[in-house]
C-alpha cells in the first residue's frame, strides 16, 4: 500500500496548479524529496478516507489554498485578540496603512 501511495504521490506532485503539488513543493524545502513523497501519500490517504466516509467527490481547492487559509486564520486570530482586549477594558483602534 505504501508503494502505491508513494507512486500516486509522485504523480500528484508533478501536476500543475493543484493543492497537492503546492503542498509537495512546500514540504520538499523542509523535508527533502523522499519524506515529502511519503507525507503527500499520507495526505492522499486522508483524502481517500474522507471521500469514502462522506461519499462526496473530491474538490480541488487550488494551489493557493494554503496561503488563503493562513490569511483567513490570521484575520480570525486578530479579531479574537481584539475582542479579548476589549473585554478587558482596552480600547483598540486599527492602524492606518500609510
pLDDT digits (tens, 9 = 90+) for 75-96: 999 999 999 999 999 998 877 7
- 30 pLDDT tier (thresholds 50, 70, 90): very high
Stretch 57-63: mean pLDDT: 87
Residue 3 has pLDDT above 70, yes or no: yes
Model pLDDT, residue 98: 58
Whole-model pTM: value is: 0.70
Can you give the length of the chain in residues? 98
The rounded distance, in Å, linking the Cα atoms of 19 and 30 is: 17
Torsion angle of alpha carbons 50, 53, 58, 59, nearest 10°? -70
- In the block, cell 481584539 appears at 82
Amino acid at each position: 500500500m505504501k508503494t502505491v501511495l508513494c507512486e500516486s504521490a509522485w504523480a500528484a506532485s508533478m501536476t500543475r496548479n493543484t493543492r497537492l503539488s503546492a503542498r509537495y513543493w512546500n514540504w520538499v524545502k523542509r523535508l527533502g524529496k523522499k519524506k515529502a513523497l511519503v507525507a503527500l501519500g499520507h495526505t492522499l490517504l486522508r483524502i481517500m478516507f474522507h471521500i469514502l466516509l462522506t461519499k462526496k467527490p473530491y474538490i480541488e481547492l487550488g494551489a493557493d489554498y494554503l496561503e488563503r487559509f493562513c490569511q483567513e486564520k490570521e484575520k480570525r486570530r486578530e479579531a479574537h485578540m481584539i475582542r479579548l482586549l476589549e473585554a478587558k477594558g482596552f480600547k483598540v483602534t486599527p492602524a492606518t496603512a500609510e
